[in-house]
Amino acid sequence: MSPLLGVLGGMGPAATADFLAKLAAYTPAARDQEHIATIVYSDPTTPDRSDAILNDGENPLPAMFRGIAFLDEAGCDLIAIPCNTAHHWYDDLAAATTVPVVHIVDAVAAQVEREAPDTTVLGLMATDGTIQARIYEKVLTQSGRRVIDLTDLGPDNPVMAGIRAVKAGALDGARDILTAAARELAARGAQGLIYGCTDVSAVLDIPPDDVDVPAWDAADALAISCVNRLRG
């Protein structure tokens, strides 16, 4: 029987759909039957992850546990979570199942190391919750890299504005806002960009328009990692 991938999704819906498209694009297949069998558990009612981290909002972990249990019981061989901020609870989620869970930040870090080992300053385009939880910083600083972001702009942070626009379905406006954010990070000295939110991944090209530094997409890295692990 072919290996089965489980996707803990819905955070948000557009990000999950984008991840599935990337998974299909990176799978070497000449016909339908050669693609990876996938079960998606998509619950957009999962409480906001950034709100839980920043404002002591409702805990999303019980909702995510339900999804993990569903995928475990379905017989999945590997689980992917196309939400960066959800990885703040990675250890709890991984401990709740015997199924291996891919860590999205490890996937991105490995890609950067392979493709640009001399890059030392990375501009992170992520939710305030991801940045506050230091999900990327904990991993990337181990290899001597520095992470910069735009959270110092507070309520004027264009990354958060762009993410909110994606969640509201205003994709063209979101693309313009996030492209401006990418340009600002490059102007501040970022030698490369990381799309550390799968809502950013859903709308931005690599690299964005008029940005002359490389970019790495967390959703791309997650999809590639899943294909490699399930297909060798």
Catalytic-labelled residue, pool 23, 78, 197, 219: 197
Provide, rounded to the nearest whole percent, the portion of the chain with pLDDT above 90. Answer: 92
Q: What is the Cα–Cα distance from 6 to 154, expressed in whole angstroms? A: 36
pLDDT digits (tens, 9 = 90+) for 170-189: 999 999 999 999 999 999 99
Is the distance from CB of 161 to CB of 151 less than 8 angstroms?
no
Domains, the chain, ranges and CATH?
4-103+221-231 (3.40.50.1860), 104-218 (3.40.50.1860)
Say if residues 99 and 77 touch (Cβ distance below 8 Å).
yes
Beta bridge partners of 123: 148, 193
The answer to whether residue 76 is catalytic is: no
Contacts of 45 (CB under 8 A, 6+ apart): 10, 63
Residue 104 has pLDDT above 80, yes or no: yes
pLDDT digits (tens, 9 = 90+) for 19-59: 999 999 999 999 999 999 999 999 999 999 999 999 999 99
pLDDT computed for residue 215 by the predictor: 96
Inter-helix orientation angle 218-231/104-115, to 10°: 90
pLDDT in tens, 124-163: 999 999 999 999 999 999 999 999 999 999 999 999 999 9
pLDDT band at 95 (very low <50, low <70, confident <90, very high): very high
226 is catalytic: no
CA distances from 171 to 15, 43, 74 (A): 12, 21, 34
Alpha helices in the chain (DSSP H): 13-26, 49-55, 61-73, 90-95, 104-115, 128-132, 135-140, 158-167, 171-187, 198-201, 218-231
Catalytic annotation, pick one of 20, 83, 105, 159: 83
